[in-house]
Amino acid sequence: MQKNLHFSLKSCTFAPNYETMAKILVIDDERAIRNTLKEILEFEGYTIELAENGRLGLDKALSTTYDLIFTDIKMPEMDGMEFLHTYRSSCSQQGVEDAPVVMITGHGSVDNAVEALKSGAFDFIQKPLDLNRLLLTTKHALDHKSLVQETKVLRKKIGKRNQMIGNSPAISRVRAIIDKVAATEARVLITGANGTGKEVVAHLIHENSTRAKGALVEVNCAAIPSELIESELFGHTKGSFTSAIKDRAGKFEQADGGTLFLDEIGDMSLSAQAKVLRALQENEITRVGSDKPIKVNVRVIAATNKNLQQEIADGHFREDLFHRLNVIPIHVPSLDERKEDIPLLVQHFTDLICSEQGWRTKIFDASAIAKLQERSWHGNIRELRNVVERLIILAGDTITDQDVADYA
């Protein structure tokens, strides 16, 4: 049976994009359809390969990496639905990323196409094929694949940054507390000097909690002016103040179902502290300019570099809020308290920095490590990372104690 090759050309511009070079597989048992799609997509700058049935298409899809696959639904030997299930299942078993699959369907098989979407197909296009729809679907599918890949890379980079490096007794105690508290709903108060890694602790607690699939929303209380902190945390309604041109959800609402990390909470104003206390007590917030309460389901982790007991004595921090937050206290040791971790930290930062910059990995010799362990680290982990990066840039392939003396 001859398939309909009609393409609607209305309002379509052919703008070849030879920079894309994405590789696309077209699977269809009708030669005219295959060749037409090949001609159009090659004109757009894509590399096209063809398969005349689902079984041949599957062999190609599993032996070659493609950026996108088009497949007809109704074909002999192996139809599009069977191809989709087998292809995705095989990729999952092999631990490789599957390409987005777009189904090509006739007027009478839209139900099959919808079923394909439920089974993991990216999209479907109907016959007679509309050229605008074909090109837009191709672009969206490739953009989606690119976004997925970028997200994976970012997650790997974030994962590398959110590691607690070291085997010293001091950091091992912190790690043990994280392991015990992460799976609970208990609030955590993280204390420690600037640069010790309090944010890393917060991330590890969230990532290992039952809320890991929810958002981790971070608020630096020291960086937000006191007159804006309440709007930032609780949101506002349109017209509640001069620049409130529309309703806006605050950080508590954004973190609903996840974790809210209140960094530098010791710098929060007393009025904002009172509202945070109420939110923790009632599990609800009220937007600025509204009297309507909004229920929130949020786990709060707070951090500070201040002595909150002293801040309470000085009248700068609410004692009742302190006790609400301080269910599980975690003190992150300074680098001077865990100098035995410096060799591992130096290696970690060296690998991370050289990988990010695309440089050949440099080596810190024993004399350089010993020199780094001798000095005092007032800026803690953050300062050590900066020094490692400086030495990687300014010193030779092997970094010595003399390089540390010259540049650290």
Looking at the structure, tell me whether residues 171 and 244 fall in a common domain.
yes
Give residue 284's region: left, alpha or beta (phi > 0; psi -120 to 50). Answer: beta
- What is the pLDDT, as a whole number, of residue 189? 98
- What is the pLDDT, as a whole number, of residue 55? 93
Looking at the structure, tell me whether residues 178 and 310 fall in a common domain.
yes
- pLDDT tens digits for range 20-50: 479 999 999 989 889 999 999 999 999 999 9
CA dist 354 → 152, 194, 391, 394 (Å): 19, 25, 12, 13
Looking at the structure, tell me whether residues 146 and 27 fall in a common domain.
yes
**Final residue belonging to a domain, choices 278, 310, 333:** 333
Full-model pTM: 0.64
- pLDDT tens digits for range 268-316: 999 999 999 999 999 999 998 888 999 999 999 999 999 999 999 999 9
- Report if residue 45 sits inside a domain: yes
- What is the pLDDT, as a whole number, of residue 339? 96
- Split at pLDDT 50, 70, 90, the class of 181 is very high
**Final residue belonging to a domain, choices 304, 333, 362:** 333
**Final residue belonging to a domain, choices 127, 151, 175:** 151
- What is the pLDDT, as a whole number, of residue 158? 57
- Split at pLDDT 50, 70, 90, the class of 331 is very high
Is the predicted pLDDT of residue 106 greater than 80, yes or no?
A: no
CA dist 149 → 19, 68, 163, 276 (Å): 19, 14, 22, 38
Is the predicted pLDDT of residue 215 greater than 90, yes or no?
A: yes
Residue 198's CATH number = 3.40.50.300
- What is the pLDDT, as a whole number, of residue 226? 83
- What is the pLDDT, as a whole number, of residue 28? 93
For residue 182, what are its two tokens?
A: 């992460």
- Report if residue 10 sits inside a domain: no
Higher model confidence: residue 83 or residue 117? 83
Higher model confidence: residue 83 or residue 96? 83
- What is the pLDDT, as a whole number, of residue 14? 43
Is the predicted pLDDT of residue 136 greater than 90, yes or no?
A: yes
Return phi, psi of residue 236, to 5°: -150, 165
- What is the pLDDT, as a whole number, of residue 92? 84
Q: Using CA atoms, how far apart are residues 124 and 117, in angstroms rounded to an integer?
A: 8
Provide the domain limits for residue 32.
Answer: 23-151
Higher model confidence: residue 71 or residue 112? 71
CB–CB of 211/185 below 8 Å? no
- What is the pLDDT, as a whole number, of residue 184? 96
- What is the pLDDT, as a whole number, of residue 15? 44
- What is the pLDDT, as a whole number, of residue 349? 94
Looking at the structure, tell me whether residues 314 and 178 fall in a common domain.
yes
CB–CB of 235/287 below 8 Å? yes
For residue 239, what are its two tokens?
A: 């017209």
Q: Using CA atoms, how far apart are residues 186 and 164, in angstroms rounded to an integer?
A: 21
- pLDDT tens digits for range 358-403: 888 899 999 999 999 999 999 999 999 999 999 999 999 999 999 9
The residues that bridge with 90 in the sheet, in sequence order, are none
- pLDDT tens digits for range 227-254: 889 899 999 888 877 777 888 899 999 9
For residue 64, what are its two tokens?
A: 């070659």
- Report if residue 307 sits inside a domain: yes
Domain count, the chain: 3
- What is the pLDDT, as a whole number, of residue 17? 44
- Report if residue 370 sits inside a domain: yes
For residue 79, what are its two tokens?
A: 């139809």
Is the predicted pLDDT of residue 87 greater than 70, yes or no?
A: yes
- Report if residue 128 sits inside a domain: yes
Looking at the structure, tell me whether residues 294 and 378 fall in a common domain.
no
Q: Using CA atoms, how far apart are residues 225 and 198, in angstroms rounded to an integer?
A: 22
- What is the pLDDT, as a whole number, of residue 107? 60
